[in-house]
Chains A and B, each alone.
Chain A
Amino acid sequence: MKAAKLDSGQLAYQMVTHKIRDASGQTEDITHQYSTEPTIPGPAIMMTEGDKAEVTLEQDIKGSNEPVSIHVHGVHYKMDSDGTMKVFNHTADQAAFPGKPYTYKWTAAPGTAGTWPYHDHAFGNPMLGAEDKGLYGTLIINPKGGKVSAMIDGQIKQVDLKDIKREFILWMHETTFWGMELNHLANRQVPLWTNPTIGAREDELVRFHVIGIGTAFHTFHLHGHRWIQPGTSHLVDTVNIGPIVREAFVIKAGEGVGPGNWHYHCHVLQHMQSGMMGGFRVIEN
């Protein structure tokens, strides 16, 4: 991956090359699934419990000598893959500098299944942290069994991940949603930028990943739909999202309510008034 500067001056991660090797040693290049430009949020990296990853980061930010890093949540790693600077870890700078990439090694250990953030932890310029400038992305660890629980047709069921064709990633930052779709039908990641309209066909199983970044606290609300919070039987249609808090859930699009333009928004009214909202367009089958 690399960290680069957008024309707007914001920073963003971009996947340069992604190769996967299976247990038999067969290698597959899946780089084509990713955007060919840096995006906010950054590339969504998908792993399965038991997988290992090596992530090499290049600092490719024009006009900047500041270090950038990847600090990941959820997965296991050794100290040298923490993505922090010597000032924090008292050992070494685990960051990429211009012309000097840095490699992180992650293990998606059993029990780490879930949606996790990764973000810059070099806290360069400004000291607020470059994550506020756009250096953050999503790591999705799928359970080894290939199933996640969800409330479907009024019952808690184990849903086969292969049946999920669309995944929507919504990052809540300041007063903006930054979106990304993982479209498994087209087999690609689609950058959706700010406050997008996300779309699915009625009765499709879709997975949402909602994550907070920055300093604000948000309340994610999706109209017309409800889900069980992971690990519980609590049915909700609203969830609080603080910094680096994440919520992942599966729903059946339009279940019990039918097709339509279903609103999603931050329920902190001031954030909503500032446009922190979008639509979930469910198209009739």
Chain B
Amino acid sequence: MTKISKLTAAILMAGFSGSSWAAQSGVDDLILSVPGLMPSAVLEMSDEPGLWFKDPVDGDALVVLKPKQAAMIKMTDTNTEHTITSLLWPAGAENFPVDQEKPSSASVTQAFDKPGLYVFTCKVHPYMFGAVVVDDPDTKGLDIGKELQLVTGAKVPASSDIAKRLLRTFFVATTPSLWRDYSKPEWDVSLPDIPLNIEGNTISLSALSMTMPNELKKPATPGVGEVWVNTQFEMIEGKKKAGTATRINTGDWNVVSKFKGVKEDMNNPHNMWTDKRYQNIYQTAWFDKKLLTFDRVSGQTYSEVVVGESPSHVISRPSDDMLYVAINAGEQVVKMTGGKNPSAQKSINTGPHTSPHGHYITEDSKYMVTPNALAGSVSVVDLNTDTNTEIPTGGVIPIAVWGTPNGSTAYAANLLGTPPLLSSLTVIDIPGKKKLKDINLAADYDPVTGKISGEAYGLLPIQTPVSPDGKYVVTANTLSATVTIVDTATNKVVKSLPCEPGCHGAHFGMKKGGGYYAYVASKFANDLIVIDMDKLEVAGRVLLSDLKDGSITAHNGMGGQGILPLPIVEHGYLKETLKLSGKGELSPEVEGWLNALTPEQKGI
């Protein structure tokens, strides 16, 4: 909480350090040059969990300036490229927003005229947050502003519920000590008594504090197989960069092991997939350039291949087990051979400035759908010809997509909605290659008052898998900390369930005896939420930290993003694995999982 204590000091710290030369008559008229901006503060972008924008003065993600001062934002300690983009700013602020249109290592020096809160993010890694507060020393309290403008174009009063949520989320996301640690009895978001000036009224930052009990509960019915979770922020002794993959046994809901890649700095491993034998785990290093392949059981690393800037998701094509890796800071999906040593075969271009993120392949292997985070579009790629059709959707940062089992329809989560909708899923006709409609995930939420009048309450949606029976779309919503469940028959939200700060990863797994679980992980909490899809209720919460492991040096179990439950639930994939059953090609463990499945789960 250095950040908070520094705030007060920063408010008191007057001194705009202008030119070090006092005006001297008869001399200054000889100087015709006009100095440029002198940064009074710096935010250095890094790969460090929580401190993605780091003030070198105090190590926090927030700096306080006075009007007309400037800050420099630069990429310093990071292994990949980013954008520097305004997420919100005081409406009417001069020269705003700042928005780098494509990822690079370019810095920004920006002057700030209007008092208030300015939040920056990276469009490729949109939970990287840094903030500048421009504080007028002549007003009481730290200026947050009157009206805040969001990058989507929406304007909200600074006292609105959504503005306060964003403010609290900023503090939680950028302060690891505020992350929800389920190994402790309660979650205490304790913010200090710092006066904030919101719309001219002074309130205390501590008004955003809250305390909630932490209650873990193992689901009464076991699952089948195991669940892998990218615990992306976990720090391991001997590693410079963050990230592990945590393996949970759904038979007893305990952590089996963690893949730590000690030799290999995984650097924010984001998403995983496997081959049809479930031997290899393929894992992307999102803040890097690599695809890592390791043995599912032993954790032995097989290979580490450079694939491109910020690879986000990896998925296979069921028919031939080829891999498709989305290059999130690029404009392509790399097609690779599978196996222990994947090798790039082809680069499938998704269009200029697309930045594909969480892509999907239809179970019949015909199409790949990519949500193009920077282009506001979705691409449908015919995998027999590798030809791309880009469909502009109007979505702001479409970040993940999944489809129905019959391959007809895909649902793309737009992280920042489809203006004027604050939060949305775009429905895509895959073979028709066209947008059908937008689903308002937050139809029952009033962003000003915060009143929730129904089930539709999801803000900043991320992963959005479709259930293997095609009935539901389950979406992890990071700002509202909810999981919304959309009924595909009506395309309406039928349920919102509580999630965690930084709710992010979601996918389905098998429930023992039939049916499915949805598993949901969160960046800023170390539990895995298990949702019973028969009841649409939370069946349990499982700890992702391993308290006995002394090599975990920080953020134990935190950073939950990509989720890979095995056996894979999608029947188009599962049938390829079932074909190998009984032929000595699968491990006894995998054979046991397959034997535990019901005919319906097998897709029979």
Find out whether the CB atom of B104 lies under 8 angstroms from the CB atom of A195. Answer: no
Which positions 43-82 of chain B face chain A at CB distance < 8 Å?
55-57, 70-72, 74-77
Find out whether the CB atom of B104 lies under 8 angstroms from the CB atom of A192. Answer: no
Interface size on A, residues (CB 8 A): 45
- The number of chain B residues touching the other chain, given as a range, is 35 or more
Choose among A8, A128, A175 the residue with the greatest number of B CB atoms under 10 Å from its CB.
A8
Q: Which residues of A contact B107 (CB under 8 A)?
A: 174-176, 274
Q: Which residues of B contact A197 (CB under 8 A)?
A: 33-34, 36
Q: B39's contact among A8, A168, A179, by CB below 8 Å, is which?
A: A8
Find out whether the CB atom of A37 lies under 8 angstroms from the CB atom of B17. Answer: yes
B15's closest neighbor in chain A, by CB?
A: A7
Q: Which residues of A contact B36 (CB under 8 A)?
A: 177, 179, 192-197, 278
Find out whether the CB atom of A183 lies under 8 angstroms from the CB atom of B31. Answer: yes
Known A8-B41, A194-B37, A194-B38: A270·B106 in contact at CB below 8 Å: yes
Find out whether the CB atom of A191 lies under 8 angstroms from the CB atom of B19. Answer: yes
- A126 located at the interface, meaning its Cβ lies under 8 Å from any Cβ of chain B in the complex: yes
Known A126-B77, A175-B106: A274·B100 in contact at CB below 8 Å: yes
Give A281 to B109 CA distance when docked, in angstroms: 22
Which positions 1-59 of chain B face chain A at CB distance < 8 Å?
15, 17, 19-21, 24, 27-28, 30-42, 55-57
A281's closest neighbor in chain B, by CB?
A: B32
- B214 located at the interface, meaning its Cβ lies under 8 Å from any Cβ of chain A in the complex: no
Q: Which residues of A contact B33 (CB under 8 A)?
A: 168, 179, 181, 190, 192, 196-199, 281
Find out whether the CB atom of A199 lies under 8 angstroms from the CB atom of B109. Answer: no
B22's closest neighbor in chain A, by CB?
A: A36
Which positions 159-209 of chain A face chain B at CB distance < 8 Å?
168, 174-177, 179, 181, 183, 185-186, 188, 190-201
Choose among A9, A192, A194, A216 the residue with the greatest number of B CB atoms under 10 Å from its CB.
A9
- B108 located at the interface, meaning its Cβ lies under 8 Å from any Cβ of chain A in the complex: yes
B20's closest neighbor in chain A, by CB?
A: A37
Q: Which residues of A contact B15 (CB under 8 A)?
A: 7
Q: Which residues of B contact A185 (CB under 8 A)?
A: 30
- B388 located at the interface, meaning its Cβ lies under 8 Å from any Cβ of chain A in the complex: no
Give A155 to B33 CA distance when docked, in angstroms: 28
Q: Which residues of B contact A273 (CB under 8 A)?
A: 101, 106
Q: Which residues of B contact A238 (CB under 8 A)?
A: none
Q: Which residues of B contact A132 (CB under 8 A)?
A: 76
- B303 located at the interface, meaning its Cβ lies under 8 Å from any Cβ of chain A in the complex: no
Give A179 to B31 CA distance when docked, in angstroms: 14
Q: Which residues of A contact B39 (CB under 8 A)?
A: 8, 10, 193-194
* Count of inter-chain pairs, beta carbons less than 8 A: 122
Q: Which residues of A contact B41 (CB under 8 A)?
A: 7-9
Give A186 to B33 CA distance when docked, in angstroms: 13
A34's closest neighbor in chain B, by CB?
A: B20
C-beta contact mask, A241-285 vs B, less than 8 Å → 1, else 0? 000000000000000000000000000001101110010010100
- B254 located at the interface, meaning its Cβ lies under 8 Å from any Cβ of chain A in the complex: no
Known A8-B42, A35-B21: A190·B31 in contact at CB below 8 Å: yes
- B105 located at the interface, meaning its Cβ lies under 8 Å from any Cβ of chain A in the complex: yes
Q: Which residues of A contact B20 (CB under 8 A)?
A: 35-37, 39, 191
Give A185 to B42 CA distance when docked, in angstroms: 34
- A18 located at the interface, meaning its Cβ lies under 8 Å from any Cβ of chain B in the complex: no
Which positions 378-415 of chain B face chain A at CB distance < 8 Å?
none
Find out whether the CB atom of B76 lies under 8 angstroms from the CB atom of A199. Answer: no
C-beta contact mask, B77-111 vs A, less than 8 Å → 1, else 0? 10000000000000000000000110011111100
B324: min CB distance to chain A, Å: 28
- A133 located at the interface, meaning its Cβ lies under 8 Å from any Cβ of chain B in the complex: yes
B541: min CB distance to chain A, Å: 38
Q: Which residues of A contact B40 (CB under 8 A)?
A: 7-8
B14: min CB distance to chain A, Å: 11
A178: min CB distance to chain B, Å: 9
Find out whether the CB atom of B30 lies under 8 angstroms from the CB atom of A274. Answer: no
B29's closest neighbor in chain A, by CB?
A: A186
B37's closest neighbor in chain A, by CB?
A: A194
Find out whether the CB atom of B37 lies under 8 angstroms from the CB atom of A195. Answer: yes
Q: Which residues of A contact B71 (CB under 8 A)?
A: 8
Find out whether the CB atom of B57 lies under 8 angstroms from the CB atom of A283. Answer: no
Find out whether the CB atom of B30 lies under 8 angstroms from the CB atom of A195. Answer: no
Q: Which residues of A contact B108 (CB under 8 A)?
A: 274-275
A282's closest neighbor in chain B, by CB?
A: B32
A37: min CB distance to chain B, Å: 4
Q: Which residues of A contact B76 (CB under 8 A)?
A: 126, 128, 132
Shortest Cβ-Cβ A-B pairs, 9 listed: A199-B32, A9-B56, A274-B106, A37-B20, A9-B57, A196-B36, A193-B38, A185-B30, A197-B34
The contact sample of 6 A-B pairs, CB cut-off 8 A, is A7-B57, A9-B41, A39-B20, A133-B56, A190-B33, A274-B108
Chain B contacts to A: CB under 8 angstroms? 15, 17, 19-21, 24, 27-28, 30-42, 55-57, 70-72, 74-77, 100-101, 104-109
Since A128-B76, A174-B107, A179-B35 are in contact, a sample of 18 more A-B pairs with Cβ atoms closer than 8 Å, ordered by chain A residue number, is A5-B57, A8-B40, A8-B41, A9-B57, A10-B39, A10-B72, A39-B20, A128-B77, A176-B72, A188-B21, A194-B37, A194-B38, A196-B33, A196-B34, A197-B33, A199-B34, A201-B32, A271-B106
